Structure 1
Amino acid sequence: MTPAIAGFTYQRVPVADGVSLNAAVAGSGRPIVLLHGFPQTHLMWRHVAADLAADHTVICPDLRGYGASDKPAETGAAYAKRTMAADIVALARTLGHERFALAGHDRGALVAFRAGLDHPETITHLACLDVLPTLDMWEVMRGTTAAVGFHLYLMAQPPGLPEQMIAAYPDGFFSHFLDIWTNDPQAIPADVRAAYLDACRDAVPSIVADYRASAGVDVDHDQTDRDAGNRLRMPVTVLQQDWGAALGFDAAALWSAWAPDLRHSTVTCGHFMAEEAPADIAKALRDLLAR
């Protein structure tokens, strides 16, 4: 039986032609949407979501192409973060929320970032966990330190080879990241880990499409916004591992260029911070919502 977030109800919500998202919903009060990263599903928010649901409406979807959400074919801009951000706005609107706070981790943070730029009248508060904006990421990845992002380059390749290679050994590929990005392996129990692997095994083409978009159309969208001087207008919180110095760049400075109202801090844990340090993340999100 697939694990679920205790106390949350599940529904499929149409967000675009032929695309519905699987979403877990609970609580009441000011809404906040929580977006998962790679190689996970909405389950990564299980601890934080339960905390926030005590006094907020909490919505935890699987992104398009992931988990139990629909996985459209990679045509046009199907996996552009602009498209995926529009999914989230449509999801919240269908659930009755014209304005909402948004927090994302990893891939979900890139969707949240794009939603903040494209829908400033809709996103009231924004949190991005352990990621850089796409344009900045490609600009700082260089030399031997870029080896940590080998998967970014693999999945940026034209359709065919990346999908075939990953599909040949999906559990090994996705387990690699669950292993090396986690400081506390106990933070992802066996049933949740199995759910992540099951979900990824069934979504290789769409996951690759998501990453491929970040080496193409997503860069174009970010560059257009940078050139136009577009910035995030809402209060922004960025939480990251203390890895900036090790990789040779100033993450806070990069984020500040996009977010005038920024609070940037580091969290002592691995990449999967919502699972390894849920109390810290919940507090940071509550602090954000109070701004």
Structure 2
Amino acid sequence: MTVIPGFGRQRVHVGGGVHLNTAVGGDGPAVVLLHGFPQTHLMWRHVAADLAADHTVIVPDLRGYGDSDKPEAGPDTYSKRTMAADTVALAAAFGFERFALAGHDRGALAAFRTAMDHPGHVTHLASLDVVPTADMWEVLAGAGAAVAFHLYLMAQPPGLPETLIAAAPDAFFAHFLSAWNNGAEPFGAGIREAYLAASRDAVASIVADFRASAGIDHEHDLADRAAGRVLAMPVTVLQQDWGAALGYDAAAVWRAWAPDLDHRTVPYGHFMAEEAPGAVAGAIRELLLR
């Protein structure tokens, strides 16, 4: 079993009978790290070890992923609002009412929703390589949107996406681990295989997570935008230059949500926390000083 050196692992109840597999290490102010697709908490292993020198670092598998519980999907079981409640409950279980939060990919969407819904709990927010859900659907257009074919596939009603993906799960999930890695192999011994094994066993819940982004998550973002709600805390965003490829200004998109924004276009691939962990940890540390 691959573990983050110096971190313990435990299952933490976050409500509704759901337990999250969680790695925790270090001591000091809390930082919660939420992973992306098709990964587990292990994607943060290098960054977490760095931050644990002077922080308590809490690194869960999201509900539906890794070794966390995978409840049957209901109307909001896999909404980012539900994942946000998980995150607040998880930090509280370790004694923290306030915490810094960083997320990558799917975890960044959950982190965004946590910061929107629970601004009194989130002191700082770092987002790696996404735009908020409502903006994501608006900027995907034309041939450039082909890179996001999986979003449209998993947005379909229950049945077809699960059947297609379950027929060849390793081929499906390995596609993203290869196509998004900037021509490198940033995962290290056994990590790619661990991601594939975890995803192979979570097809239904992963699809439910993505399906929520085409429905209830989108509705929540639109409601916040209409109400003029913005992020109250300092925000750092690290992104590839895929905004330029799709013809939009990613920094402007984020600035509409985050008045206190540090937006950086970085030269790394999508899996930047594994490709360039020192740079990512450094950016989080700079954020925590604001």
Q: Does 1:100 align with 2:99?
A: yes
Q: CA–CA distance in 2 between the matches of 1:23 and 1:169?
A: 28
Q: CA–CA distance in 1 between the matches of 2:243 and 2:153?
A: 23
Q: CA–CA distance in 2 between the matches of 1:162 and 1:77?
A: 19
For the Cα contact (< 8 Å) 1:26–1:53, is it kept in 2? yes
Q: CA–CA distance in 1 between the matches of 2:185 and 2:270?
A: 14
Q: Give the gaps of 5 or more residues in structure 1.
A: none
The aligned counterpart of 1:206 is 205
The aligned counterpart of 1:58 is 57
For the Cα contact (< 8 Å) 1:64–1:84, is it kept in 2? yes
Q: Does 1:167 align with 2:166?
A: yes
Q: CA–CA distance in 2 between the matches of 1:267 and 1:286?
A: 16
Matches within 5 A, 1:119-130: 119-130=118-129
Q: Does 1:290 align with 2:267?
A: no
Q: Describe the superposition over 1:160-197 as per-residue Cα deviations: whole angstroms up to 9, x where unpaired.
A: 00000000000000000000000253311240001000
For the Cα contact (< 8 Å) 2:141–2:246, is it kept in 1? no
- Quick check: 195-204 or 179-188, which moved more? 179-188
The aligned counterpart of 2:148 is 149
For the Cα contact (< 8 Å) 1:74–1:206, is it kept in 2? yes
Q: Cα distance, 1:246 vs. partner?
A: 1.4
For 1:11, what is the secondary structure of its paired residue? strand
Q: Cα distance, 1:39 vs. partner?
A: 0.2
> Which residue identity is paired with 1:40?
Q
Matches within 5 A, 1:259-270: 259-270=258-269
Q: CA–CA distance in 2 between the matches of 1:140 and 1:196?
A: 29
> Which residue identity is paired with 1:93?
A
Q: CA–CA distance in 1 between the matches of 2:284 and 2:188?
A: 24
Matches within 5 A, 1:22-33: 22-33=21-32
For 2:123, what is the secondary structure of its paired residue? strand
Aligned alpha-carbon RMSD (Å): 0.7
| Over 4 Å off, 4+ runs | none
Q: CA–CA distance in 1 between the matches of 2:41 and 2:146?
A: 28
Count of residue pairs brought into register by the alignment: 290
Q: Describe the superposition over 1:21-75 as per-residue Cα deviations: whole angstroms up to 9, x where unpaired.
A: 0000000111000000000000000000000000011000000000000000011
Q: Cα distance, 1:240 vs. partner?
A: 0.3
Seq. identity, % = 69
> Which residue identity is paired with 2:237?
V
The aligned counterpart of 1:233 is 232
Q: CA–CA distance in 2 between the matches of 1:190 and 1:203?
A: 22
Q: Cα distance, 1:16 vs. partner?
A: 1.4
